[in-house]
Amino acid sequence: MPSQARGAGAARPQGLLPALVANLGATWWLRPATYRVNSWTFALQCVLAAAACLATFQILGEQIKGSAVAAGFEGDPSTLEVLDTRFGYTPEEVAATFAAWTPAGRLRYLLIEAIDVVVYCTAYRGASIVLINSLAQLIVERWPALRWVRHAAAMPISLAAVDYIEDALQVAVLLSYPSVEPLLQSGKHTLASGGGAEAPSTLSVWRATAVAASAVNRSKWDLLRVCLAALVAMMVAAAAAAAAGPRTRSGTTGGSGARARTGQRRKDE
């Protein structure tokens, strides 16, 4: 089968570390090497890394809530959730959350964002690409006309890119919060309607950044739903391809192709 031959014939780095580095490099953006990333060892490494990140996020999230409670927070615990897990938020909600977190909690959130950017996005992108490439290979081998399905590898790359933008905006909101916190606590300025005509430019910029971060956050979750739906469709198609059996060069399956070729030769004779 041509697609298998190309994959098998490609030179691969020897050793776990060189192979890991090569696969990570091939999954940063969509390029020819991306379609050859089909190592389940690499996928397992990514899954384990993602699981470790999720466990770390859970621990740090609880510590953030603990910092808020220790500082006297008595409100709704849902308002203490990290921004990444919400489906949109207002600048007022962000300001209330950051104030409740305390500086110690905000520092832990910065750590969450760093892990998200450096490890988590890289891990879920790599594991998803291996799965998509494997499903695409099954589909294309049975139905070559669906070769375009290979480009589904762009989905996790796009999702990670949106995630990076979201993280960058949220970190900007987080790091600039100390400069607007005194303005909000003074009671002279609010975040409504951009802070009002008398609001300092720093407050208006902070509000605009929070609004942009919320918009990207919503886009991330919408894109994730689309990616999951496409992945389910690919799984169904791959299962159908596997059930139908491999496609021969004549376009038929199994031994029927050989019988058809034999019959054609007899007619020619």
Q: HSE of 15 in the Cβ direction (CA atoms, 13 Å)?
A: 3
Note down the domain range covering 153: 17-247
Is residue 260 a part of any domain in this protein?
Answer: no
Residue range 211-247, pLDDT digits in tens: 999 999 999 999 999 999 999 999 999 999 998 876 6
Dihedral sign (CA 15, 17, 20, 22): negative
Closest Cα partner for 29 from 156, 168, 216, 166? 156
Predicted pLDDT of residue 141: 92
Predicted pLDDT of residue 182: 86
For the record, the structure tokens of 218 come out as: 């919503």
Predicted pLDDT of residue 244: 84
Is residue 49 a part of any domain in this protein?
Answer: yes
For the record, the structure tokens of 123 come out as: 């891990």
Name the burial class of residue 241, with classes exposed (0-12), middle (13-18) and buried (19+) by CB atoms within 10 angstroms of its CB: buried
Is residue 234 a part of any domain in this protein?
Answer: yes
Residue range 117-171, pLDDT digits in tens: 999 999 999 999 999 999 999 999 999 999 999 999 999 999 999 999 999 999 9
Residue reference for tokens 């949220």: 170
Residue 23 CA to residue 131 CA, distance in Å, equals: 13
Residue 24 CA to residue 108 CA, distance in Å, equals: 27
Is residue 264 a part of any domain in this protein?
Answer: no
Residue range 27-72, pLDDT digits in tens: 999 999 999 999 999 999 999 999 999 999 999 999 999 999 998 8
> What is the total count of domains within the chain?
1
Predicted pLDDT of residue 118: 97
Is residue 32 a part of any domain in this protein?
Answer: yes
Q: How far separated are the first and last CA of the chain, in Å rounded?
A: 30
Is residue 6 a part of any domain in this protein?
Answer: no
**Collapsed DSSP state (helix, strand, coil) of residue 249:** coil
Q: 7, 36 in Cβ contact below 8 A?
A: yes
Is residue 262 a part of any domain in this protein?
Answer: no
For the record, the structure tokens of 104 come out as: 């110690």
Is residue 254 a part of any domain in this protein?
Answer: no
Q: 37, 10 in Cβ contact below 8 A?
A: no
CA distances from 65 to 44, 68, 75, 97 (A): 32, 5, 11, 10
